Amino acid sequence: MSLPIASGSSAASAVEQPTRSRKTLWTQAMETRIGIIPLPVYVLLLVLITAFSIKGKISGEVTVMVGVIVAGGFTCAEIGRRIPFLRAIGGSSLVTIFLPSFLVAHQLLPAPLVQSVTAFTKSTNFIYLFITAVVVGSILSMDRRVLIQGFAKIFIPLGLGSLAGITVGGCVGWLVGIGFWRSILYVVVPVMAGGVGEGAIPLSVGYAEALGADQGRMLGQILPLVFFGNLVAIVVCGALNTLGRRRPDLTGNGQLQPGPGEVGDPEKHDAAHSNTTSIDVATVAAGGITGVAIYILGTLIHSLIGLPAPVAMLFLIVAVKILNGVPAPLAEGTRVVFRFFVIAVTYPLLFCTAVALTPWHELVEAFHPANLVTIVATVIALVATGYYVGRLLKMYPIETAIVNACHSGLGGTGDVMILTAAERMELMPFAQVATRIGGALTVTAAIVAMAHFKVL
């Protein structure tokens, strides 16, 4: 009895099938991503980082640090995205901000890794590169008329929101036993001061001089409230993002108000937020270096007149846009740089900020019931006022509410955190107005009031 002999084509088919199957599995693995990282690359990064951490030899060079913070940032974001309730209030950003801080405080991350990330974060200070890319790209990709109207209008909900936050915070603080003026000066104002470097520190110096007190003790009293106010704003804006998904009529998905001819035409609006482009690489690079040059000019203005460099940059780029100083292809190049930073850099930036600059104990110290209630009431008053006033002004209410929330943010870092939770990084120019200009006015008024009333 003879056995059947496989034909050449059948034999080849039998050999190719496992190969094709392996290729399919590998392709599927490479197409599965943790954030932006293909799964096999992600696993390789984790193995390498673990190995170098065990050896205690994590290099601080930029290439290695990029691998570490990208893996750390997108791991935290993926965890937050998969927690059912948390993801509805900005879980990805919340976990990326606070989990690394908790792990550092309890010594659950390898010390060499923490030291390398901290040194890299503080030496590069690359949050300003991030803010530059976002502010320049978002402004130059806006419709010129929308930009002018937006900046003209945003001060109305912001100013009214500040008054509402101060009034509501003072009243709630009085009801819970802190006292009306003490609530305003020691709880509400720190939350609305604009962060640490340009808010809490000058505020503590001014208070200490007015009262003849120790500046270090005053700063220690103020800092926890600043961190907790930022946390409340993150949670509220995460909830606003969820509301925007359910009620698309209330949101411009990152645009402050409808542009000319844009109502009922979502395709025109979506073009500004697209992740695809036909622009050439050289023009994208030109857009990036244009933003860097404008920021450096902002630092020069800061050295001459003391205006913070990000604010100077903001004014400069708005002037350039209003005067049509950048041709359309170059503006598109800055938009591509902006989208790259939003997609690829946001979570790594939050991760390294959490490791290096977000002390866990500062947040925990703010958990006094009276403080908590007062801070929550202040932030909600800010946000609610922005929502309703924005609606009256025919702006998108969710966007104006988010900008107002940034008034209770932790400076530039806080703006990144809040806008990440809201998934509206396009609002960064307006957030900078709320945080830096609003914060500076708040701090100045509070120091004058403290010198006059001397509230202990």
Q: Which residues pair with 38 in a beta bridge?
A: 33
Q: For the segment 32-54, what is each residue's pLDDT rounded down to a tens digit?
A: 999 999 999 999 999 999 999 88
Which tens digits make up the pLDDT trace of 205-238?
888 888 887 777 787 788 788 888 988 999 999 9
* The predicted structure's pLDDT at residue 286: 94
Torsion of CA 217, 221, 224, 225, to 10 degrees: -150
Q: How far is CA 15 from CA 151, 401, 435, in A?
A: 66, 62, 64
| Contact assessment for residue 371 and residue 187, using Cβ atoms and an 8 Å cutoff | yes
CA distance 398 to 250: 6
Q: What is the mean pLDDT of the chain?
A: 85
CB proximity list for 11: less than 8 A, separation 6 or greater: none
Q: Residue 7 has what pLDDT?
A: 47
Q: Where are the alpha helices (DSSP H) in 198-327?
A: 201-211, 215-246, 266-271, 281-305, 309-322
170 pLDDT higher than 90: yes
The Cα 49–Cα 58 span in angstroms is 8
Overall average pLDDT of the 250-275 stretch: 64
Q: 234 vs 85, which has greater pLDDT?
A: 234
Whole-angstrom distance, CA of residue 408 vs CA of residue 44 = 40
- Triad 171, 176, 180: Cα angle to 5°: 35
pLDDT band at residue 12 under the 50/70/90 scheme = very low
Asked whether the predicted pLDDT for residue 20 surpasses 70, the reply is no
Could you report the per-residue pLDDT of 440-450, keeping only the tens digit for each?
888 888 888 88
> How far is the C-alpha of 193 from the C-alpha of 214, rounded, in Å?
20
Tell me, letter by letter, the H, E, C secondary structure of 54-108: HHCCCCCCHHHHHHHHHHHHHHHHHHHHCCCCHHHHCHHHHHHHHHHHHHHHCCC
> pTM to 2 decimals?
0.81
The predicted structure's pLDDT at residue 366: 66
25 falls in which pLDDT band (50, 70, 90)?
confident
Q: Who has greater pLDDT, 406 or 267?
A: 406
pLDDT at 18: 54
Rounded mean pLDDT, 347-376: 85
User: What is the 8-class DSSP label of residue 259?
Assistant: P
Task: Work out the average pLDDT over 64-76.
Answer: 94
375-411 pLDDT per residue, tens: 999 999 999 999 999 999 999 999 999 999 999 988 7
Q: Whole-angstrom Cα distance, residue 198 to residue 449?
A: 18
| Residue, of 358 and 272, whose pLDDT is higher | 358
Q: Is the pLDDT of residue 194 over 70?
A: yes
pLDDT of residue 262 exceeding 60: no
Percent of the chain with pLDDT over 90: 39
Distance (Å, rounded) from C-alpha 336 to C-alpha 4? 62
CA 382/CA 152 separation, integer angstroms: 19
Q: Does residue 134 or residue 71 have the better pLDDT?
A: 71
Contact predicate 95/80, CB 8 Å: yes
